[in-house]
């Protein structure tokens, strides 16, 4: 997905507090942003306290929202470099189209993973004009320097490994957890797990102490090591945890992300992850000139225009 901000700031990954070497419980309010036309989302990453969690550098929580006829999602063709887009669908359907020629409807319980590498463009639209409901999480994964110029690719994962424990359905979206390995191909040590319960539940999940982690409730309320978390905030957990206790008193859902602290500085601006401002200027100019990123065919939504980066400065805390 893409932000509709007309002049987004450049986010520098190291322009925030250093990754702690111990467990913390740091509550960070998400902010409201807009995607497409009229779809409000909660943006948890990047933020002024934490730019990244492992290689995860962007986290949007969309919905749950009901929309009227002809008012579904319409994020027109837009470009990406230096990252992977990771879409976890909870309710509803979205039609992905990209410049490689892929057209893929993503449905609840499925993941779309697009590797931008040196450059790709895509669009995300409602599958039809009927009224509907949308609930999803979209994340970006920063590619390490050795991989950020790789050829673009797209993968759809209709089935993901899961287990049931203590009333939670635990689905491993990325990486390895609970003895399960996600099929999603990523290029950094990381993990993404969805916890969903239809009633009261509790469980303890093992974590890798060398990873930093963060949690975001998607619906209901979840108690995380004694801290109650509802939608609208990210709970940053630091490093050094070998396990995490989760509980809920009613139906709830939570997303847990983590990974090895990312050892490289990145710049994030609009839909690009880069290492230098020159990379950002070049990508912006190439997209607006119709170079490098190919063509997305079939999307009914208008092509997005890259904002003017000329006067943009690095964001400071």
Q: What are phi and psi of 94, to 5 degrees?
A: -135, 140
The strand pairing partners of 73, in sequence order, are none
pLDDT, mean of residues 207-214: 98
| pLDDT exceeds 70 at position 311 | no
CB 213 within 8 A of CB 53: yes
Residue 317 above 50 pLDDT? no
> Residues 126, 38: contact at Cβ < 8 Å?
no
Check pLDDT > 60 for residue 205.
Answer: yes
Cα-to-chain-centroid distance, residue 222? 20
Once rounded to an integer, what is the mean pLDDT over residues 43-62? 96
Judge: domain 22-284, CATH 3.40.190.10.
no
Do 94 and 124 contact (CB within 8 A), yes or no? yes
Q: Is the pLDDT of residue 230 over 50?
A: yes
Query: Above 50 in pLDDT, residue 54?
Result: yes
Q: Which residues contact 19 (CB under 8 A, 6 or more apart)?
A: 212, 238, 239, 261
The string of pLDDT tens digits covering residues 283-294 is 999 999 999 999
Which sequence spans correspond to the domains of the chain?
22-284
Determine the pLDDT at residue 3.
55
**In this structure, are strands 39-45 and 56-67 parallel, antiparallel, or unpaired?**
antiparallel
pLDDT score for 1: 58
From its phi and psi, is residue 140 left (phi > 0), alpha (psi between -120 and 50) or beta?
Answer: beta
């Amino acid at each position: 997905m893409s932000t509709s901000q007309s002049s987004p700031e450049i986010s520098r990954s190291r322009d925030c507090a250093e990754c702690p070497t111990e467990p913390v419980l740091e509550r960070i309010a998400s902010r409201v942003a807009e995607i497409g036309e009229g779809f409000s989302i909660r943006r948890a990453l990047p933020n002024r306290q934490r730019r990244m969690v492992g290689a995860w550098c962007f986290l949007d929580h969309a919905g749950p929202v009901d929309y009227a006829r002809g008012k579904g999602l319409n994020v027109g063709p837009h470009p990406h470099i230096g990252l992977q887009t990771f879409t976890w669908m909870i309710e509803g359907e979205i039609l992905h189209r990209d410049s490689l020629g892929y057209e893929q409807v993503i449905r609840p319980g499925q993941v779309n993973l697009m590797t931008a590498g040196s450059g790709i463009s895509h669009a995300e639209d409602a599958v039809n004009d009927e009224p509907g409901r949308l609930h999803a999480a979209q994340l970006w994964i920063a590619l390490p320097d050795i991989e950020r110029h790789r050829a673009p690719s797209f993968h759809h994962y209709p089935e993901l490994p899961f287990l049931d424990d203590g009333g939670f359905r635990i689905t491993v979206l990325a990486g390895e957890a609970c003895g399960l390995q996600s099929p999603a191909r990523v290029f950094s040590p990381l993990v993404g797990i969805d916890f969903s319960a239809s009633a009261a539940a509790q469980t303890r999940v093992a974590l890798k102490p060398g990873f930093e982690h963060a949690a975001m409730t998607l619906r209901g309320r979840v108690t995380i090591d004694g801290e109650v978390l509802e939608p609208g905030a990210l709970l940053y957990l630091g490093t050094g945890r070998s396990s995490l206790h989760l509980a809920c008193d009613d139906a709830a859902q939570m997303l847990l992300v983590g990974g090895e602290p990312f050892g490289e500085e990145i710049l994030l601006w609009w839909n690009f992850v880069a290492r230098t401002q020159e990379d950002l200027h070049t990508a912006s100019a190439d997209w607006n000139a119709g170079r490098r990123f190919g063509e997305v065919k079939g999307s009914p939504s208008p092509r997005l225009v890259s904002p003017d980066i000329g006067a943009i400065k690095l964001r400071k805390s």
